[in-house]
Amino acid sequence: MSDRAELPEGQVADAPAGNWVDRFAPAPLRPYLRLSRADRPIGTWLLLIPCWWGLALAIAADPAGPGLFDLWIAAGCGLGAFVMRGAGCTWNDYTDRDFDAQVARTRSRPLPSGQVTPRQALVWMAVQALIGGAVLITFPPAAIGLGIVALLPVLVYPFAKRFTWWPQAFLGIAFNWGALVGWAAHTGSLGWPAVLLWLAGIAWTLFYDTIYAHQDKEDDALIGVKSTARLFGDAETPGWLRRFLVAALLLAGLAVAKALIEGPALPLVLGLAGVWVFGWHLRWQLARLDTTDTEICLRLFRSNRDAGLLLALFLAGAAMV
């Protein structure tokens, strides 16, 4: 449903039916939680998963293995991903509120539909950012510094689609920064395996967000918003997605090899097996893609939670053996 008049109680058009916000959240909080996309948790997962990748790979590369503080890092990344994704979405919707009002899928969002005022949105964004900052300062200094630097691509991303055909690259830079933070939170410094993992995540984001952007390419063309979906079109998208898939696998494999090649064989085997399973899932998505079917595009986009968690699971296994 794209017409807000058909949606009950301010529900957002592209939110899953019966989501927890619409069912259980207190009524006064619902518009703000919708603004944070809490009713669509896939974005939180896609922000969190690279954090867990970086943390798990750092532990696997550490002869001392996991420690109690790593449990807090994993949990803190979860809380941080939830509130900072919410803050980022609030900023994105604040800057895009006029565009969103012109797009069928997004005009029911809280700002263009009038559920939240621009001033209220900015206050809500600040509250979420303060919570995220409170989590970040419990991490080592290197991770804190990286977390602060991450604000720059977050601030720039909403404007990227106005000046480049590659806004998905800016999203990838921001959304996969957690690979650097997760690594640094365990090791206390930045390392090449984390950088390679971050680059692999950028390629992964180009893969899944190009699929996502195909839902809006007609509306985007009408209002002048750029995206890789519009740049590639229906004919060239599969070929580009294959390139992104290969890049993600090569970079993730290099990250695992760089981190684990000098250690015992089993963690390395588990890490590379995780990369293979991750690639298998992306190949499965590509085989089912129909860029003209918005429901398929949304379903495949959401399935990337499972793809990322599969790699995280194998990296966690490598960290524990």
Among the ranges given (1-15, 141-155, 192-206), the one the predictor scored with the smallest mean pLDDT: 1-15
pLDDT at 272: 98
Q: How far apart are CA 125 and CA 119, in angstroms?
A: 10
pLDDT value for 3: 40
d(CA 127, CA 139): 20
pLDDT at 152 over 50: yes
Q: What is the pLDDT of residue 5?
A: 42
Q: Is the pLDDT reported for residue 107 higher than 90?
A: no
Taking alpha carbons only, the member of 212, 216, 132, 204 closest to residue 172 is 204
CB-count burial class (<10 Å; 0-12, 13-18, 19+) for 78: middle
Confidence of residue 179 (pLDDT cuts 50, 70, 90): very high
Question: pLDDT tens digit string along 186-198?
Answer: 999 999 999 999 9
Q: What angle do CA 62, 278, 179 make, to 5 degrees?
A: 45
Domains of the chain: residue spans and CATH: 29-320 (1.10.357.140)
Tell me what pLDDT residue 11 has: 77
pTM for the whole thing? 0.92
Summary mean pLDDT of the chain? 93
12 pLDDT exceeds 50?
A: yes
pLDDT above 70: residue 117: yes
Give the whole-angstrom CA distance, residue 208 versus residue 49: 14
